[in-house]
Structure 1
């Protein structure tokens, strides 16, 4: 297995933990995977780490999810951009939604943390 594939698998596992925290409503687990200066770019504006973890103040926000079409762009030894498609069902939602996500993971103090994410909703979406 190529080093890039190992890196992609490791970062995808971390990204999956972020999504799992959304399913479990676990703000602490979510926050542990984000840098203090995390920045999210969303269809409704910018968000920081407090915004990301704060969405879990009343519990889970996602019922189920699937991540696919994963790509990795190695920026340098300590930074990589994980790009993928997320299909997900929100708590209280009737229909699956989808978005394309770019997540920047940085190794800081020996641990990989998500420092940036941009979510692009797919329009005209139908669940596969």
Structure 2
């Protein structure tokens, strides 16, 4: 297992969420690998497509991460699975999703290389 705790990866993942709260596409690109792939109800997204959603500013007003679980995929990669409760910017209602994010260590740095969001239905 990598020498890091579940909280270490929750903190990395929180960095991605924080860029959505601040609306900073450059900061988000710094956390996602060049070969990042997002799988969402709307379809696939590359790193640039994922960061582009921040071009007009913040998309998230607030978020929380709960029930985090870590799965070792290899010596230098882990799958972080968790529940996210978030409030999209400009909306009053909180939405819940289950998310799986693959974090891979390359050249001594951890990168988010894959994320899949599964919204909770009504």
Q: What TM-score bracket applies, with the shorter chain setting the length?
A: over 0.9
**1:20 equivalent in structure 2:** 18
Gapped runs of 5+ residues in structure 1?
none
Deviation at 1:29, TM superposition (A): 1.2
Q: Output the TM-score relative to the length of structure 1.
A: 0.91
Among candidates 96, 100, 103, match of residue 101 of structure 2 = 103
CA distance in 2, matches of 1:45, 1:16: 23
Runs of 4+ in 1 over 2 A off after TM superposition: 3-7
What TM-score does the superposition give when structure 2 sets the normalisation length?
0.96
Tell me, what secondary structure is at the counterpart of 2:55? coil
1:29-71 CA distance string (max 9 Å, x none): 1110000000000001000001111000011000000000100
Length, aligned pairs only: 122
In the other structure, the counterpart of 1:117 is: 115
Q: RMSD between aligned alpha carbons?
A: 1.3
Shift of 1:7: 2.6
